[in-house]
Amino acid sequence: MKYVFLTGTNRGLGQAVSQALTDSQIISITRSPVEETGNIYKSFQVSFTDTEELEDKLSDIYTSINPEEGDEIYLLNIAGSVNPVKSLANLGGQEMLDNYKINTLAPTLLIKGFVKHFQDFQGEKRIVTVSSGAAVNGIEGWGAYCSSKAAIDMVHDVLSKENKHQANNVKSAIFYPGVIDTGMQETIRSSDIEEFPNLDRFKEYKENDVLRDAKEVANALIKVVTLDDFGSDESYNVKDYI
Ligand SMILES: NC(=O)c1ccc[n+]([C@@H]2O[C@H](COP(=O)([O-])OP(=O)(O)OC[C@H]3O[C@@H](n4cnc5c(N)ncnc54)[C@H](OP(=O)(O)O)[C@@H]3O)[C@@H](O)[C@H]2O)c1
């Protein structure tokens, strides 16, 4: 059996991944409710801005399965937020912290729980976190998003080093998904041009059909996480798997 701990299951890329993983049992971790039907084996509800509650729930989340020899366990960190879209001069401390909690702290806590809880499980254990080109290229108005994604990239850098030198037996990588036609792009297109000077470029992505369908990106992500030599690269880009 393949068990997949998945965030963002209720919409966007996370939902498309969940729908495409028909051969897996999904353990869903979301803010919005998700029904335990079909391949959703268990669902946990918590807002990632409440890091204390998430940390308290880690034990329940990871004891919700009892993997046996031959089973595989994946953690796919997909949930994310681009908000607040504001120039640095207007960025509030709390909203920046909330963005960091969603994009950096929550996936890090989920990684920590996964690595620790399944330390003695000898089967296949894989972690993918969805990052963004914004982690490596600063974009005006995205001070919180760019820096929180850069931070999770660095957490993964550390993780892949720890995988090599500690007894984790975990394989992990970052996935760069390109631009996807999801709610996040709607949020971006509804930004204030004063705060986000690239607004017209992102509107053109939609008008010119540049945004990829979430199902296409989900299939690429699944191709990546199931590669025979998964983890031999520290990051994978959607364009190489379409
Ligand atoms: N769309 C793009 O063009 C694009 C480009 C590069 C990278 N990405 C990355 O791809 C991933 C998926 O994005 P998407 O396009 O699918 O975005 P989306 O459609 O906006 O979905 C975002 C998901 O994150 C969840 N989320 C947001 N705030 C949360 C919170 N406080 N606690 C728990 N969950 C929360 C949402 O849950 P709710 O429904 O409860 O809000 C939703 O399930 C993200 O990591 C994003 O940064 C997207």
Between CA 179 and CA 211 the distance in angstroms is 5
The Å distance, Cα 68 to ligand 1 centre, comes to 32
Residue 61 in any domain: the answer is: yes
The Å distance, Cα 78 to ligand 1 centre, comes to 7
Per-residue pLDDT 10s for the chain (242 aa) are 999 999 999 999 999 999 999 999 999 999 999 999 999 999 999 999 999 999 999 999 999 999 999 999 999 999 999 999 999 999 999 999 999 999 999 999 999 999 999 999 999 999 999 999 999 999 999 999 999 999 999 999 999 999 988 878 999 999 999 999 999 999 999 999 999 999 999 999 999 999 999 999 999 999 999 999 999 999 999 999 99
**Residue 179 CA, closest ligand 1 atom number:** 3
Question: Measured on CA atoms in the order 200, 201, 202, 208, is the torsion positive or negative?
Answer: positive
Question: Ligand 1 site: residues with CB under 6 angstroms?
Answer: 8, 10-14, 30-32, 47-49, 78-81, 102, 130, 132, 177, 179-180, 182-185
The Å distance, Cα 185 to ligand 1 centre, comes to 10
Residue 37 in any domain: the answer is: yes
Residue 230 in any domain: the answer is: yes
- What is the tally of structural domains in the chain? 1
Structure tokens at 197: 């000077």
Residue 108 in any domain: the answer is: yes
**Residue 134 CA, closest ligand 1 atom number:** 6
Residue 197 in any domain: the answer is: no
Residue 139: domain span? 2-180+213-240
Residue 134 in any domain: the answer is: yes
Residue 195 in any domain: the answer is: no
Residue 231 belongs to domain with CATH number: 3.40.50.720
The Å distance, Cα 131 to ligand 1 centre, comes to 11
Q: Write the residue with the smallest CA distance to atom 17 of ligand 1.
A: 184
Between CA 43 and CA 4 the distance in angstroms is 11
Residue 85 in any domain: the answer is: yes
Between CA 64 and CA 67 the distance in angstroms is 10
- Which pLDDT belongs to residue 140? 98
70, 109, 158, 171, 209 from 164: Cα distances, Å: 22, 20, 10, 9, 41
